[in-house]
Structure 1
Amino acid sequence: MAGDESEIALSKRDLREVTAFAAACAEVVLEVFEADRPDDSRPRDAVGAAWEFARGGERGKALRDTAWAALRAAKSADTAAAREAARAAMSAAGAAYLHPLAKATQVKHILGAGAHAAAAAELVAGHDPDVAAEHVGRAVRRATPVVVEVLKRFPAAPGGGGRVGELMRMLDAELRSLDLPE
């Protein structure tokens, strides 16, 4: 679609706000990964790098490297919940790389950490969807008006993606329904 290729304005402030939101979402499930892999700091390092960028640091190789390292940590985890927690951390560091393209897939940079964190919590709770819904609700309350406004510049979250995709679409719909002051 031609509309999918249009460019969206994104400031460095926008990227920092989105990254702070993603880091806050991922941070709450770091202990899920650390219970599985107590000697592996890669997800925590990724969340730390995300916070550093959000607070004024540079968006460079170190940030990208921590995201890839968290993804490798996810692959080494023994439990599905720990894998999702590490993916939340990877998504937090990756949020800084939101591209200004009007593509639904870019929404993953904004909401991926929240969706993976909700999935991790759901798995820890024995696949309890109410726990995931509570995490989504907390993520909605965590979102700043800037995060919501940036999200609304993009198309709705894409289909697919299994349970994480469902949670992302739930988070997307709830954030888009907010009526924020202009």
Structure 2
Amino acid sequence: MSDFPAHPTPPFGRFDAVSPALERPDLTPPAVTGALRDWKHRTAAESVLYVDTDPEKADTAVFSEVYDVPLEVGANCVVVAAKRGQEQVLVACVVLATTRLDVNRTVRKRLGARKASFASMDTAVAETGMEYGGITPIGLPAHWPLLIDEAVAATPYVLIGSGRRRGKLILPGAALAELPGAEVVPGLALPVPAEPAPQDPPVR
């Protein structure tokens, strides 16, 4: 069993309030609180920090500047709806914020689905019991597949949602691979295409 020592202070960022997530069950939704409490991998659970953040500063660029968090340590939990025959399957995918989820190829093929697309906001919120913009891989429905990009698992510490728009969680990327039902999937995420360089106006 891997060892994930508790980090007494955040490994990155500037936050006004920081605490071990297990010590503040009042700050996360019941599903997240319960998942942390019941996580059999105790050192993974104990490594999770809760940091207080303003939901009004959740935009990626603003958040990075305000809290001094590098963009490459942010990890997004994306809910995908896949159709297999007449059945719809919901799956959670975790990718770095600097990448984009490969829904149409990797996710669809991994699930053996004929079609896969991002789940609607209403579906994601209703099925997870979490707030939109704060959905986290900790505390998802037990029957959901949980796919984690290999780059996330390889990142020493990542910042993820807390289940609410206020606050975030920080933990070792490898700890996410220890969540129940989690699977590390190579190629789950693709690089975000670079914006083309501005062109000089034509000479007339």
Q: Give the structure-1-normalised TM-score.
A: 0.29
Q: Which has the higher helix share?
A: 1
Q: Which has the larger radius of gyration?
A: 2
Q: Which has the higher strand share?
A: 2
